[in-house]
Structure 1
Amino acid sequence: MNLQVILSNFALILFVAMVLTGVIWFLDIFYFARQRRLAADTALVAFDHRNATLAADGIKTDNASRHAIEAALLRQPTWIEYSGSFFPVIALVFVLRSFLYEPFKIPSSSMVPTLVIGDLILVNKFTYGVRLPILNKKIIEVGDPQRGDVMVFKYPKDLAQDYIKRVIGVPGDKITYENKRLTVNDKPVQYTSMDDYLEDDSLEYHQQFTENLPDSSHRILNSKNKRALDLGSVDNFPHREACVYSYEKFTCIVPEGNYFMMGDNRDNSADSRYWGFVPNKNIVGKAFFVWMNLGNWKRIGGIH
């Protein structure tokens, strides 16, 4: 595992930090604290014996020093004190991110108009099953991705990268894309024209439609000056034999245990059309909420 992968895997960093601080916290409770108590008791016995001797000789003793000696010997070293303070916080964050909700930031325009650059989103980690952190292995079945879901997953060509796209095809589906229109299982998807969309970053107008998949409706964008498919960008991906490409059309049958993903900004999205299917083992979770966008507070809300 190279340094770039390690640095990009925040869950791994959190896990290592949790283990290190947890071990120190555990050792302090069951070993270091007892050693400090033993040292303090030994020092206090010696202190009390000396004071008794002085008192017998008629010399006044200072009992306040006894408390200072005890406090000094029982005090945690700085490195143990900080580890004990950080451990519960790190453990809580690790559990929340691994099994409940994880935050992400949208870095590109491939999901416009649903998600824009700068959106800070929350991803539900248990909707599609409970997975072991770091290994991302499913251990409890809960549910499966559905057509229309906005899903975060590990990019099949580089597992260090997290991608976000919309689920268009589930296992067994026949997906056809021709003239910028989808057909799912030989049933044409219905489109409703909307007002053109002005993209803030490029200041370009795009054709906007409501796309009515069998299970959901959402908005998509098309660019008038771009083709439906760039054959030169199609990779030789796993299960490539399940797809048939032509100049303006392709048809794919989604293999078992895989999903076909597309961006809502159809002509500005590198997705399953080009790099292939997303296997179940790559799934991170379902995006469901925009919790902040520093450039536009009106963006806060649910994801559809």
Structure 2
Amino acid sequence: MAITELAPKQERQKKEKSAFREWFDSVLFAVIAATIIRWLFFSAFVIPTPSMENTLLVGDYLFVSKLHYGTTTPVTPLQMPLTHQYIWGTTIPSYLEWIKLPQFRLPGFTDVKRGDVVVFNLPVEHPETYRKYSNVLPDLHPHPLDLRSNYIKRCVAQAGDTLEIRNGQVYINGSAQPIPFRMQNEYFMSTTTAVHEENVFRKNGITDFTPFTETFNDTIISNDESGYIVKTTPALAQKLKTYDFVKRMEPLYLRKGLKEPSLFPATDLTDWNKDNYGPIVVPAKNGTIMLNDRNTAIYADFIRYYEGNEHVTLQNGKLVLNGKHVDQYTFKQDYYFMMGDNRHNSADSRYWGFVPKDHIVGKAVFVWMSIDPDPTNFLNKIRWERLFRIIR
């Protein structure tokens, strides 16, 4: 029988990708890689407000580590990649709430500690609480937990701490705490003459100053004095004090007992202000509190909206859980008390309460770029001295 040798199959020639397909594949790979890095390792943020001056300035670009505290899994997975709340340049939401997942936190290097500069999701953008704080934060809108606005503040009290502020000084568990190196306070600068703002204030990096026009509550300013209300660091205040046209530099604090109505908690049972606040206990996981009238006013919203409880109501000022009045409560997660380093120009925990652990995003690590937003400062737009500065 004749045998015919079969010729080997010819390999099919691969089709070459079109230029558009190569471009699309490259963009898709870059988006997927950037999304994974942004979720798992670190994110880039820009500072839009002066609440952390002089530690962080408006126009600072920084990297925030997700690894330090452990990154969290998405709660709202149906989201356009590389967006946060809205599609770029629009007010169209970038997410859909059709699917909501439970949140888990991956292991991290460390826990949030006192003194850390922390990025977190703003708790009061919860759908049940945002309206209560519109007088302090007028642009509040409700968002899912993982898509609430990113805020950056310094942790001044950990879970379980008792915090008190006396005349501007923070005390934790009865001990005075170190003052952040670049922390700003409000000062009255009494002067003998008008000041050349460019040579005195801007030359020293002071951007927040106003001429004094009226008595600051009932503090140390006399009605016949002239000068400026200046927000600056203690070190710069001492420098300004040496100028021959400066009579004195005095820190301005609200007196104890002068109630500031916009502070947290919204109750007549406290008479606190931003300079004299507390004492208040920061909730800790497995920590139990007694629900007297004062504690109910402080902690009720956190028990109702941030602890994963169902069927929690307030009836005549009493907490009702699963149909039963409760006189004590054990917390399910840790909380933190956050404050801005610009202590007299910061909407922080003094105004809206604690930050739950499940709202923690990451630790601010370093500034990689800094651009001066002042439109007149064309020649020195980049603040070169701030590049790659470690955040402390």
Q: Which amino acid aligns with 2:51?
A: S
Contact 2:180 2:341 in 1 (8 A): no
Q: Distance in 2 between matches of 1:112 and 1:191?
A: 14
Q: Which amino acid aligns with 1:234?
A: L
Deviation at 1:208, TM superposition (A): 2.5
Deviation at 1:244, TM superposition (A): 5.2
Deviation at 1:96, TM superposition (A): 1.5
Structure 1 residue 303 corresponds to structure 2 residue 391: yes
Structure 2 residue runs of 5 or longer lacking an equivalent are 1-10, 77-102, 126-146, 188-200, 211-229, 236-248, 285-333, 373-382
Single out whichever of 293-302 and 176-185 deviates more from structure 2.
293-302
The answer for the alignment partner of 2:28 in structure 1 is 87
Contact 1:199 1:206 in 2 (8 A): no
For residues 110-148 of structure 1, give each alpha carbon's deviation from its aligned partner in whole angstroms, at most 9, with x where no partner exists.
101100100001101110023224556303253210100
The answer for the alignment partner of 1:188 in structure 2 is 176
SS state at 1:290 partner: strand
Deviation at 1:294, TM superposition (A): 2.4
Contact 2:206 2:231 in 1 (8 A): no
* Matched residue count: 221
Q: Distance in 2 between matches of 1:89 and 1:208?
A: 43
Structure 1 residue runs of 5 or longer lacking an equivalent are 1-39, 42-69, 211-221
Q: Pick the aligned partner of 2:60 from 103, 119, 122.
A: 119
Q: Distance in 2 between matches of 1:298 and 1:193?
A: 17
Q: Distance in 1 between matches of 2:363 and 2:154?
A: 10
Deviation at 1:297, TM superposition (A): 1.5
Contact 1:258 1:279 in 2 (8 A): yes
Q: Distance in 1 between matches of 2:206 and 2:75?
A: 36
User: Normalised by the size of structure 2, how large is the TM-score?
Assistant: 0.50
Q: Pick the aligned partner of 2:254 from 221, 227, 237.
A: 227
Do the aligned partners of residues 192 and 273 (structure 1) sit closer, same or farther apart at CA in structure 2, a change above 3 Å counting?
A: closer
Structure 1 residue 103 corresponds to structure 2 residue 44: yes
Single out whichever of 158-167 and 200-209 deviates more from structure 2.
200-209
Single out whichever of 164-173 and 85-94 deviates more from structure 2.
85-94
Q: Distance in 1 between matches of 2:62 and 2:75?
A: 21
Contact 2:68 2:109 in 1 (8 A): yes
User: Normalised by the size of structure 1, how large is the TM-score?
Assistant: 0.63
Give 1:1-304 correspondences, 5 Å limit: 74-76=15-17, 80-133=21-74, 137-158=104-125, 159-189=147-177, 200-203=206-209, 205-206=230-231, 208-209=233-234, 224-225=251-252, 227=254, 231-236=260-265, 245-246=271-272, 248-256=276-284, 257-295=334-372, 296-300=383-387, 301-304=389-392
Contact 2:42 2:66 in 1 (8 A): yes
The answer for the alignment partner of 2:221 in structure 1 is none
The structure with more radius of gyration: 1
Identity of counterpart residues, as a percentage?
Answer: 32
